[in-house]
Each structure stands twice: as structure tokens, then as C-alpha cells.
Structure 1
Amino acid sequence: MKFTVGDFVTRKSYKHDVLFKINSITNDNAILHGVEMRLVADAPLEDLEKVEERDLKKKERLGKEREEFSYRLFRQDYQFMKDKRTLQSDAAYPSLPLFRLPIKVLHVDGDVTYLKKCIDLYKRIGIQAHGIHMNEKEMPVQIRSLIRKIQPEILVVTGHDSFSSKKGTKKDLGAYRNSSYFIETVREARREIPNVDQLIIFAGACQSHFESLIRAGANFASSPARINIHALDPVYIVAKIAYTPFMEKVNVWETLKNTFTGERGMGGIETRGVHRTGMPYFWDEA
């Protein structure tokens, strides 16, 4: 069977568990990028099987249904937080119009397709996000200048990653495709802004070295159980932080429960929210 760049495929040896798109082909091997999962893999062409158009549409429909279900869960969570803030604000500032101070998210992504999906979801959720597509190797070099330029409250550093048992154990950073770049990017970001509540960082992708990312200074990271994470998981982490009042801690479990992969794919430390309200709001009268 002939394969070309852009074909949608699965791997026979992994029982067709993940849908991939062929990114490049060299001799008899292909570099694969996950369609939903932030996974990069290489595989011999003989291990690949093309996904027929009918099956592809079915997978896309199921993927959309999962995304919509997760979005509805977030909306319910957001409405609860909004109602709680309204009650607190009414008690503290009766009859006074309030405004919300917008936050900025800097989302640096190694995959342009994932980045577009994330930016679309940020807009849908009502979060201002600056999306930058960049190769994972370039991230440590560029991140400090980007932080100075954008001045975000939340930083997302993600893209592709994978663990290979052929290259070492799970403790060995050399066994990961891009974890070392994510780790160094987090370290550089912390050299710029050391306070974990002044700049909140999510870092990692599929199967990333979770412990090292947290030690480097990330508030949230992937992947504790070295499993694949969904392309949109970082957005739901950001959303929970963005809509939690700054005087409250972001409950780690509450943050993870609306993600696609949960506590096996994501983890983090106690972190303050960044949502701030102000008063009074009379600007419409000008």
C-alpha cells in the first residue's frame, strides 16, 4: 500500500488505538502526529493502515461529541462559579455595577493544527489568548522575550511528546522526545517571573516527564502516568484557573475532572486563581 504525507492512519501493532496523520516519510518509516492526542510517533510503513473516509468521519463525529460533552461540563462548572461570585459581590457591593479585569494567556504550541483548535476553544470560553506556533526546540530560546512582550498571567507550553522504552526508563529524560525542551522552557520562564502565582504555567504533552516539569516550576503539567493527553486538555486547565477568584485556591482535583484524560494524564500544585472583579462600572454612560 502506498502512503503519502497527510494520510490518516492507525498502527497495527498498537491495535489501532490512536488516529494519526502522516507528517513526513523517510525511506520506509513515517513520522506520525496524533489527530486528537498530543502524541508524536515514528513507525514503519508496513505497520500502518489507512483509515477509510467513512471510518474517518465516524471518528471525527465521536471526537466532536467528546469535545462537546467536556465543554458542557465546563459550562456547568463556570455557571456555578459565576453564581457564587455574584452572591459574594452582591453582599459586598450592593447595587453597584461591577466589571471583570481581563487576563491574558500566552499559548505556545508545537503543532499549528492543535493551536488553532485551542484558540477557537479559548474564544468560545471567553478567554483572551495569544497563540504562537513554534518548534519545541526553539521554545527555551524564545520564551522570555515572548513573556516580556505579551505579559501574560497564564503560560501554556505544549506541542508533541512521547516516551520510548527503547531509549531508557521513565526516569531518563533521554527517553522522551521533547520533555527536555519543555522543562528548559519552564525554567527560562521562571527566571523571568519566579512567583508561581504571578505567572501560572501549564507545560507538557503526551507522555511527558511530569515530575521534572513540576520541579522546573510548572503549576500544572502532563503526564503523571505517562499516558496520552487530548489536544484541548490545556485549555480546560487554563479555563478553571482563569475563572477562579484570586483570593481562592484552584482545587487540583476540581481542575482535572473536566479534562479528557483526568488525573492520570494531568496533575499540578495548589495555585491561586486569577479572576478579579472591580467596581463601579459606568463606562456605558460616556
Structure 2
Amino acid sequence: MKLKKGDIVARLSYQCDLLFRVVELHPQYVELAGEEMRLLADAPLDDVVIVSEKERAAHEKKAKELIDNSYRLFRQDAKLMKQRGDYDVTSGYKSESNYFELRGRVLHIDGDPLYLRKCTELYNKLGVPVYGVYLHEKEMPEQIGSLLEMVQPDIVVVTGHDAYLKSKGDERDVRAYRHTKYFAECVRIARKHSWNKDELIIFAGACQSHFETLIKAGSNFASSPERVNIHALDPVYIASRISLTSFMDRVSLSDVLRNTITGEKGLGGVETKGVMRRGMPMKYD
């Protein structure tokens, strides 16, 4: 078996449960990035097998079903929020519905260019304004300050790949995680720009990230409470829910987590207000 960068593979020792992309080749092992999950992993060469087109199609079908279900739930909630907005602005439908929405702007910083593309496509599909940037996780703390100044976002997402490495230490030790420390540093820098958790909403983390560290650093939402893998699109659903929720309302933690693919084991947060503002009148060209 001749491996090359970009091949889609699975790990025999994990019963081929997840699909990975080969990102780096070494004489004795390969570096892998999750195809759907935000996980980085190393694997011995003899533990990796190239996935056939048929097996890949089966994995992708299951993944699409999860994505479609989350999208359906999100659209249901968005429709209910729109109906409530119509009711509030028209004083119980007593006047004409003639208003516009200023939805929260997202700065999405991602450590994976393919994931960034998928996430940007979903933001656009959901009608959320986004400015996406690809940066390696180690470079994020150096760049986030200038990006915040340039973009002036309402919501910032700092994500990419992560993993807990048992060989590096105890689960409570942030040094045992590949990239949590970089995500946490980004959060601390962002909080220097805005300490108020309702003025700048922050999501930080990836697969197996040290949740407690990210929350203590100042995140509104983070991964991963149970150190499980999170789906590539989970940060988008959280950021989008906040973007589409009025600043007069608080985001229901149970509702926002329900709409993600991973759920409460992989994602958590603190009470947070929405950032969307309505205005009147609507001007037509």
C-alpha cells in the first residue's frame, strides 16, 4: 500500500470508526486529520488502511444524515425566532411587518482550510455574515489581535484540530493537549479587546480540547466537556444561533446544544445573549 498526502484512510485498531485525511508522512507513522471530526492523530503505518470508495460512500451517507438532522432542527428554531420577531415588531400583528435585521458578524479562524470552506458554505446557507481565516493553530495567537481590529466581529470562533495525548500527562494537565493552549491564549487576547461576554461572544476548541481551561480563559462556549470528538460544523451552529438571536433575548443553552451534531458531551457554555438587532423601516431599492 502506497500512501500519499490527501489519501482518505481509517485506523484498524479503532475498527475503522472514523475517516481521516493523511496530512504528513513519516518513515514509521503518519499524521492524520479527521475528515468530519476536528481530531488530529498519529498512527503506525501498519495500522492505517486506505478506505475504498464504497466504504467512504457509506461513511459519508451517515455523516450527511447527521448534518441534515442538525440543519433541520436549526431551521425549525430559526423559523420560530422569526415568527416571534414578527409578532414583537408589529405589536401583535397590529401593524405592517416592515423591519430589517442586523445579524451578528462572525470572525471564524480555523486550523483546517477544508473545514473552513465547509463552515463558510454553511454560514452562507444560514444567512450569517462571516469573515473566514485559515491559520495554523500555533499562529492564531499572533494574528487574532489584528484580525479583531480589522473585522470588528460580534462573534469569534477559534477552532481547528486538537487531541488529548495520554502519553503527555494527566487529563487535567493542559500541556497534554495538542492545541488547547493556543486556543486559550487566543481567548485571553480577545478578552483584552472586550471583557464583556455579551459584547464579544467567543467559541473556542476542537476535538477533545480542555473545556475548563477555555471557559476560564473567557469563552462563552467551548469544547469538549467529556473530551470527546466534535463535528467540524458544530462551531457554526453555535455561532449562527447567537447571530440570529435578538440582543434582547438570552440563548437557551439546551436549545443551542441540541442543534449541534455532537451535543452536550462535546460542547458546553455559559449563559449568553444574542447579538442580532432589528430596525425600522425597511427601505426597498
Q: Which letter maps to 2:193? A: E
The CA distance in 1 between the partners of 2:104 and 2:6, in whole Å, is: 36
Runs of 4 or more above 3 Å deviation = none
The CA distance in 1 between the partners of 2:279 and 2:21, in whole Å, is: 47
Q: Which runs of 5+ in 1 are unaligned?
A: none
Q: Which letter maps to 2:240? A: A
- Trace 1:266-277 onto structure 2 (pairs within 5 A): 266-277=267-278
Partner of 1:176: 177
The CA distance in 2 between the partners of 1:68 and 1:32, in whole Å, is: 26
Q: Which is further off, 111-120 or 61-70?
A: 61-70
Q: Which letter maps to 2:208? A: Q
Task: Give 1:55 deviation, angstroms.
Answer: 1.0
The CA distance in 2 between the partners of 1:48 and 1:263, in whole Å, is: 30
Task: Give 1:151 deviation, angstroms.
Answer: 0.1
The CA distance in 2 between the partners of 1:102 and 1:265, in whole Å, is: 26
Identity of aligned residues (%): 50
CA contact (8 A) 1:8 1:21 kept: yes
In structure 2, the CA distance between the partners of 1:44 and 1:148, relative to structure 1 (3 Å rule), is same
Confirm or deny that 1:66 pairs with 2:66. Answer: yes
Confirm or deny that 1:212 pairs with 2:213. Answer: yes
What TM-score do you get using the length of structure 2 for normalisation?
0.97
Task: Give 1:94 deviation, angstroms.
Answer: 2.4
Q: Which letter maps to 2:177? A: Y
Task: Give 1:138 deviation, angstroms.
Answer: 0.7
Partner of 1:49: 49
SS at match of 1:166: helix
Confirm or deny that 1:5 pairs with 2:35. Answer: no
Partner of 2:262: 261
The CA distance in 1 between the partners of 2:270 and 2:185, in whole Å, is: 19
CA contact (8 A) 1:96 1:279 kept: no
Task: Give 1:95 deviation, angstroms.
Answer: 2.5
Partner of 1:122: 123
The CA distance in 2 between the partners of 1:249 and 1:22, in whole Å, is: 41
- Trace 1:117-266 onto structure 2 (pairs within 5 A): 117-266=118-267
Partner of 1:31: 31
Q: Which letter maps to 2:174? A: L
The CA distance in 1 between the partners of 2:170 and 2:193, in whole Å, is: 32
The CA distance in 2 between the partners of 1:260 and 1:70, in whole Å, is: 6
Deviations 1:29-69 (A, max 9, x none): 10000000000001111111111111112212222222112
The CA distance in 1 between the partners of 2:65 and 2:258, in whole Å, is: 17
Q: Which is further off, 178-187 or 83-92?
A: 83-92
What TM-score do you get using the length of structure 1 for normalisation?
0.97
The CA distance in 1 between the partners of 2:117 and 2:202, in whole Å, is: 20
Q: Which letter maps to 2:45? A: L
Task: Give 1:181 deviation, angstroms.
Answer: 0.3
Confirm or deny that 1:112 pairs with 2:113. Answer: yes
CA contact (8 A) 2:205 2:223 kept: yes
Q: Which runs of 5+ in 2 are unaligned?
A: none
Deviations 1:135-157 (A, max 9, x none): 00011111011000000000000
Q: Which is further off, 216-225 or 7-16?
A: 7-16
The CA distance in 2 between the partners of 1:179 and 1:110, in whole Å, is: 12
Q: Which is further off, 95-104 or 36-45?
A: 95-104
Q: Which letter maps to 1:103? A: G
CA contact (8 A) 1:109 1:158 kept: yes
CA contact (8 A) 2:103 2:244 kept: no
SS at match of 1:264: coil
How many residue pairs get aligned? The number is 284
CA contact (8 A) 2:86 2:97 kept: no
Task: Give 1:193 deviation, angstroms.
Answer: 1.3
Q: Which letter maps to 1:83? A: Q
SS at match of 2:156: strand
